[in-house]
Amino acid sequence: MSPSSVQRHAYKEISLPQIRCFCDSVRLGSFKAAARSLGLSHPTVLSQVHALEHHLGVKLVETHARGCRPTADGSLLAVMVAPLVAGFNSLEHTFQEVRGKEVQRLIVATTPRILVDDLPKCVVEFSKHWPNVHIRFEEMRMEEIPEAVETGKADLGLTTTSSPAPGNAWIAFEPAYELEVVLVTPKDHPLARRRKVSARDLAEFPLVNAPPGILDPSVSIALEMLNAFQAEPRRVEAANAAAVLRYVELGFGVGLTLRVPSHLADPKFHERSLSRELGRVKVHLVWRNGSLMMPHARAFADLVKELLNRKSAKPKTV
């Protein structure tokens, strides 16, 4: 076969560079951003995407003022090929780790509260079975975690975000465990002396939690409807879970926190579960869709699910 015929034959085949250029253009919403991500020129990315469109006989990507977006056919293709690209991109690193040529490491993106309150026992137990794995935690806001996993900054994420954005084919969510919504007050607070406490009672006392710090939209909406953020004087508002507890301890109001049902109550406070009215908050594992899963990453995820779904002593439920 002559060199020219080989080139013509290659042009007629779908290639990995074509798929990569297409996927990054769709994922990043820009041909220029895809070029930077892949280390290619803008014209090269365009030509690869156009070659893929030529081969499939459909328009896959359309431009707009701020970049580009997939057509209906492009969205369909992205869902199909995103796992394949993720798997190929993770192949070399996963292969070297499995062969033992690289130090085994696990990068977990999560919130400070989950890291401090939920995971310590899981990490201790995991280290007993996987002593050669180095775990690095990337602490961030819950809405940043899916992007960290999608871009490869983390191997997996743990977040109360429940699902990817519509049309996002690059990440997958897996249920991990649930958290109770717990009312926290000083031990001598009027609510601590009541036999029964409901979520409606929150409107009577200043709530330390800032609305953006409530980690589940449904809980936040329910609190707004109950006028839980209206009681005065609200001299302190805090979003960080540790800060909320500290300022409740100092007497600035009552607070809401999230807790694994099997974990013991903090002896410094009076606690009541409000999950009967406000529901439970679900924590999800976040993975890159289709990436080759390292055995120790899967083992860590399974251990989190096993340990944090165990039933044990709960805060008092009203």
Categorise residue 57: left if φ over 0, alpha if ψ from -120 to 50, beta otherwise: left
pLDDT of residue 109: 98
> Pick the residue with more confidence: 167 or 287?
287
Q: pLDDT tens digits for 99-154?
A: 765 568 899 999 999 999 999 999 999 999 999 899 999 999 988 999 999 888 99
What average pLDDT does the segment 159-177 reach? 81
What dotted CATH number matches 92-176+283-317?
A: 3.40.190.10
Q: pLDDT tens digits for 209-231?
A: 988 777 677 888 888 888 888 88
Q: Which amino acid is at 261?
A: P
Q: How far apart are the first and last CA of the chain?
A: 80
pLDDT of residue 6: 40
List of residues 6+ apart from 34 with CB closer than 8 A: 21, 24, 25, 27, 28, 40, 45
Residue positions counted in the chain:
318
Q: Tell me if 92-176+283-317 shares its fold with 178-278.
A: yes
d(CA 237, CA 254): 11
What average pLDDT does the segment 181-200 reach? 94
User: How far does CA 263 lie from the centroid of its chain?
Assistant: 22
Report the run of H or E that residue 277 belongs to, with start and end.
helix 275-278
Asked whether residue 19 carries a pLDDT value surpassing 90, the answer given is no
What average pLDDT does the segment 306-310 reach? 93
Q: pLDDT tens digits for 218-276?
A: 888 888 888 888 888 899 999 888 999 999 999 999 999 999 998 888 899 999 999 99
Asked whether residue 204 carries a pLDDT value surpassing 80, the answer given is yes
Categorise residue 251: left if φ over 0, alpha if ψ from -120 to 50, beta otherwise: left
pLDDT of residue 103: 65
d(CA 172, CA 164): 7
Evaluate the CA torsion angle 76, 79, 85, 87 in order and state its sign.
negative
Domain boundary assignment for the chain: 3-87, 92-176+283-317, 178-278
User: How far does CA 154 lie from the centroid of its chain?
Assistant: 10
DSSP letter, residue 305: H
DSSP letter, residue 284: E
Report the alpha-carbon angle 210-214-220, nearest 5.
100
Tokens of 282: 């679900």
pLDDT of residue 101: 54
pLDDT of residue 27: 86
pLDDT of residue 215: 63
pTM over 0.85: no
What is the overall mean pLDDT for the chain?
A: 86
Out of 32-41, 163-172, 302-311, which region has the weakest mean confidence (pLDDT)? 163-172
Tokens of 215: 């980690």
What dotted CATH number matches 178-278?
A: 3.40.190.10
pLDDT of residue 83: 78
d(CA 24, CA 33): 8
pLDDT of residue 220: 83
What dotted CATH number matches 3-87?
A: 1.10.10.10
Residue 136 pairs with which residues in a beta bridge? 107
Instruction: Please check whether residue 175 is in contact with residue 280, taking contact to mean a CB–CB distance below 8 angstroms.
Output: no
